[in-house]
Amino acid sequence: MNRQKVQRRVGKYEVGRTIGQGNSAKVRFGKNTETGESVALKILDKQNLHKNMMPKQIRREISTMKLINHPNVVRLYEVLASKTKIYIVLEFATGGDLYGKISKLRQLPDGRLKEDEARRYFQQLINAVDYCHSRGVYHRDLKPENLLLDAQGNLKVSDFGLSALSRQAGAYLDLAGDGLLHTTCGTPNYVAPEVLNDQGYDGATADLWSCGVILFLLLAGHLPFEDYNIMMLYKKIIGAEYSCPAWLSPGAKNLIVRILDPNPMTRIKIPEILEDAWFKKDYKPAVFEEQDEAKLDDVEAAFKDSEEHHVTENNEEQPTSMNAFELISMSRALDLGNFLKKKRCASKTNNAYGLKREIRFAAIGAANELVQKIEAASKPLGFDIQKNSYKMRLEKANAGRKGTLKVATEIFQVSPTLHMVEVRKTKGDTLEFHKFYKKLSTTLNDVVWKSDDTSDKTTNERKTDSCL
């Protein structure tokens, strides 16, 4: 039988498996218990953030994503915080990232995307980047690892940890008096030449260079600038030393050349890309509704060390799960007809009446509700109750003719809404146990599962010769 699972919950979100791990954060699968929607929970440790002096960067990332609401950008739903953690609730992209897709293709004979598919991804990337720039947001770390795919294969830009905001966008600035960005950041193979020159750069044109590198990778199956020696790599980037494969179409090659222009002043801009003949083929602009002004209340609350803003964290044990084979092996029928057995079964009975010391039945509903019902039915009958998650120990306060009656119950999960309940006498008189069970069954009658052929029969009318 499967082991008992512990279900972690943060506010209204169930926390599941780990789906990503970084230096400063762990990303776990989550589910909104109110809507059933899948989400990604980016979890950050507050102590580590302060230790690495990262609170400002994380606040900038969160605030940046709050500004953006676009179908080709991973959506940020809300920000939560506990005493020790910050939880960023994000849209869950089920298709993995673009880097993983390219890596798989490299193992195939041609090793690259078809041109039409590459164009569609690039069109969606430009849609997202154009929108971000219109909101004063510059990503600064565009690469396939940060481009996720949803179930329909649509591209979603993610990870704004190195992003910058313009003067017009808000308070988190990375600009000198000249209006240019000066922080050297990003992934070396995708960084624009002007970023490496350390003379200041425009965030929009630098992002476009990275888009050009991504387009080259999508079409060619390899990066335009590669070298094990970092200084040689930078030399190739600054000089735009690359060559296009012979199989690239003239339109694709021309667009790449215009984007990978080492001079940011003459490099193609997004309005020109949108008018490019190769780009415009089968182009579908993103359709979406603009959101109202972004509210940063939950962002500010997440960084306030105040209990009134803390979300509740719970670790809830789940009932021991049971598969179909285990269920069948334990009982041939689980319904009210199995409450009382008249046939003697040596392995389970040890009394003159042939009454069972252990009874199982299937019940419909949540496991915690079943626990509450058993508890509510047992207390008026004079039982002291000890609970251990989905196991209970019941002990009769007054001793019977064979001493104190003790009963153990346990709930096993068959499915989220169907459980098998086991009620077992551990000490005392078996007849007294069955009298207790008859009263318990009356209380639980509304949740006990009944098969179609037994739903119109009472417990006393139904007999069976199967042994549990």
Where in the sequence numbering do the catalytic residues fall? 141
Measured at the alpha carbon of residue 151, what is the angle toward residues 207 and 209, in degrees to the nearest 5? 10
Q: Greatest CA span in the chain, whole angstroms?
A: 98
HEC profile of 236-296: HHHCCCCCCCCCCCHHHHHHHHHHCCCCCCCCCCHHHHHCCHHHHCCCCCCCCCCCCCCCC
Quick one: which of 59, 13, 58, 21 has its CA closest to 39?
13
Q: Which residues pair with 73 in a beta bridge?
A: 157
Quick one: which of 48, 157, 58, 40 has its CA closest to 98?
157
Q: Which amino acid is at 324?
A: A
Paired sense of beta strands 358-364 and 418-427, if any: antiparallel
The separation between the first and the last C-alpha atoms of the chain, rounded to the nearest angstrom, is 17
Quick one: which of 433, 404, 412 has its CA closest to 331?
412
Give the start-end residues of each E strand in 46-125: 76-81, 85-91
Q: Length of the chain, please?
A: 468
Q: Is 379 annotated as a binding residue?
A: no
Which two three-digit tokens encode residue 228? 């094990």
Q: What order of strands is seen across the sheet that includes strand 313-317?
A: 76-81, 85-91, 38-45, 25-32, 13-21, 6-10, 313-317
Paired sense of beta strands 406-415 and 320-321, if any: parallel
Cα separation, 380 vs 131, in Å, equals 65
CB 11 within 8 Å of CB 32: no
Which two three-digit tokens encode residue 152? 């329909």
Label residue 282 exposed, middle or buried (CB < 10 Å: 0-12, 13-18, 19+): exposed
Query: What is the C-alpha radius of gyration for the chain, rounded to an integer number of angstroms?
Result: 32
Cα separation, 391 vs 411, in Å, equals 7
Q: Which residues pair with 319 in a beta bridge?
A: none
Helix (H) or strand (E) run with residue 195 in it:
helix 193-197
Binding residue ranges: 42
Binding residue ranges for ATP: 42
